[in-house]
Amino acid sequence: MLAMKSVKLMRKYAACVDCGNELVGDGEGVLLIEDDIFKRSCKCGWSIEVDEDDKPLLDLNVACWATIGPKRVYEIHDRQGKFYGYVNVNKLQEMGHVKRINHTKKTEEFINTPEGKSWVDQNRFFNI
């Protein structure tokens, strides 16, 4: 990551957006810059991970997909691999986020936007 981009992100995320804490280290919070990833967290539990352009890193991904009769589903996991639920591929296709079930990049881009995360939260299910 370029130094100027790092400095810009450090200024933006100097203070915790939840509690205002500006300290890092000694259990107060963490500031970590690796390659193109900027991570900042606080002792209160708040954290953010962005790329060098201040875009949030992907939190959700399509782990696998299945076709069961007329029903087609994606299995969604968070970045730590925790099961997040299933979503209906047919609905995503109607919205224009899926062309083929095994092409998931466009879907992952959508489900990691605020609108997409909200859609997943409202439309996910846990049993097929």
* Cα radius of gyration rounded to whole Å, the chain: 18
Share of the chain above pLDDT 70, in %: 99
* Domain ranges across the chain: 3-51, 60-123
Q: 43-91, pLDDT tens digit by residue?
A: 998 888 888 888 877 688 999 999 988 899 999 998 778 899 999 999 9
H and E: helices and strands count for the chain: 4, 6
More confident residue, 79 or 31: 31
Helix (H) or strand (E) holding 74: strand 71-78
pLDDT of residue 107: 94
| Dihedral sign, Cα of residue 91, residue 92, residue 93, residue 96 | positive
- Residues 90 and 52: their CA atoms lie apart, in Å, by 34
